[in-house]
Structure 1
């Protein structure tokens, strides 16, 4: 009887040990899953996708702003954002204006991004209206070697409540990277032009951006993105210089802080457990 009790006690003790070890392993596994739920490489790739969308919107806004300022001020205005290797052609009808921004087989912008192909625009002919809808599409378009298809619609206000130009952008693009990886990225964003409008000097152009979007990688994993603190984009810099974005995958969300206004490739991730990690946002900055 005593031997049976001893065996029972030992068996119970071993079961307790295994339960405690299992619990600890589960906690460690959960922590590891939390930290590795987000692949940094995917976050960086999604940031590059954001840059493509933002750069296309900036090109379209600059081209339209040039037309708008010429029409409303009744004087000649020239922006220096697009280089001489870009060709712009327009076709005007009774109601609409069709424009093609052609980068040829390769045209480098002043900020170092290399583009090819054509951005097509369509909008109402009357440039005096306060709000304008601009529809854009892409033809044989590449951005630093990424083949991009899709388009966007910009609803542009000449003046918002702050007295600044603003565009509400709905975009949907697909990209094929040089290494063969593919992704789709969509977004609904507001871009307020807070500095540099009408100066003719592209380096002083500044936008404040807010909104939501998603990035789907080649395996079908979806990362949703939402602005939590206004993102500041200065065209003189390849990177968003400040602001906070929340990125969610499945039921886990982290935040990405773009910094204090310094033009650099650094961002800080904050995980749900409070841990932080500094990452480099390539933005094609080889």
Structure 2
């Protein structure tokens, strides 16, 4: 997954609303964007920014939980080095439950270059011998690369799936406010299989395969449905999804976004509803 600058993202949002024609016109008087413009923008906004936020929130939670899981089992190195030293983790336990507050304070940078502030709060049962466990996630004054995020998730954590890998089935709902005031919401269900690097002691070799679907609602109220057609490959050492195909639907129109052949780059191939294709830059860079 890939990233233009803040200004590029703002321009994309303006294109979506058709506002570049004149600052003087009333929005109701402007024409609807054509299918290609609409799907190019949603690729930049939806398949990129909201996906990025969701992935990193879940990744923070999984890193902290995995450290606890590995410490209890003794089957790997508990800490991978992904959670920065500037983060404070507070643990409150009862006889049956654990609550961890992962506090980034006024801001910490993760090893893969994201700037996070606020806290992720993670709750789960104390019994670390369970093969399957539900984790509850919520956010407090959370920002990700300048995006203020609210919401939470339920994570069904499986220690070992049929492939012998840790797996998380995630039901999430988030709202985001971008630095320019633009807002959006997204919710969905994802499966995240941890296929490489679990317990290795180094975050940079962690690799995940992501499947599932998500609904994105823009500030203008337009609804886009996204479905993973080919599993998205997330290598934690790269800031982008490196391969996989995402289908994007709006009303009776359908487009697809191909994230590539495994290279860590900032581009994807967007196929429009009419079958034409274009290489597009994805995701803004943090300022």
Q: Same fold (TM over 0.5)?
A: yes
2:187 & 2:261 partners in 1: Cα distance?
A: 27
Q: Is the 8 A contact 1:246 1:256 kept in 2?
A: yes
After TM superposition, the structure 1 stretch with the greater mean CA deviation from structure 2, 128-137 or 69-78, is 69-78
Q: Distance in 1 between matches of 2:133 and 2:191?
A: 14
Q: Partner of 2:252 in structure 1?
A: 251
Per-residue Cα deviation, 1:233-283 (whole angstroms, up to 9, x for no partner): 000001000000000111100000000000001010112322101100125
Partner of 1:17: none
SS in 2 for 1:179: coil
Structure 2: gaps (5+ residues): 1-32
The question of whether the paired residues in 2 share the 8 Å contact of 1:238 and 1:283 is answered with no
Bigger-Rg structure (1/2): 1
Structure 2 partner of 1:45: 45
The worse-fitting range, judged by mean Cα deviation, of 212-221 and 268-277 is: 268-277
2:213 aligned residue: 212
Q: Deviations over 1:97-123 (max 9, x none)?
A: 011000000101011100000101110
Secondary structure, aligned partner of 1:43 = helix
Query: How do 1:147-166 residues align onto structure 2 when only pairs under 5 Å count?
Result: 147-166=148-167
Provide TM-score, normalisation by structure 2: 0.86
Where in structure 1 are there 5+ consecutive unaligned residues? Answer: 1-31
Q: Indicate yes or no: 2:112 matched with 1:115.
A: no
Change (3 A) 1:37 1:283: closer
Q: TM-score, normalised by structure 1?
A: 0.86
Report the 3-state secondary structure (helix = DSSP H, G, I; strand = E; otherwise coil) of the residue aligned with 2:232: strand
Q: How many Å apart are 1:133 and its aligned residue? A: 0.3
Q: 1:236 to 1:216 in 2, by over 3 A?
A: same
Structure showing greater relative contact order (alpha-carbon pairs closer than 8 Å, 6 or more residues apart): 2
Superposed displacement of residue 157, structure 1: 0.3
Question: How far apart, in 2, do the equivalents of 1:116 and 1:204 lie?
Answer: 25
Q: How does 1:56-135 map to 2 (within 5 A)?
A: 56-73=57-74, 77-135=78-136
CA contact (8 A) 1:37 1:249 kept: no
Separation in 2, partners of 1:165, 1:76? 15
What is the CA RMSD across the aligned residues, in angstroms? 1.4
For 1:224, the equivalent position in structure 2 comes to 225
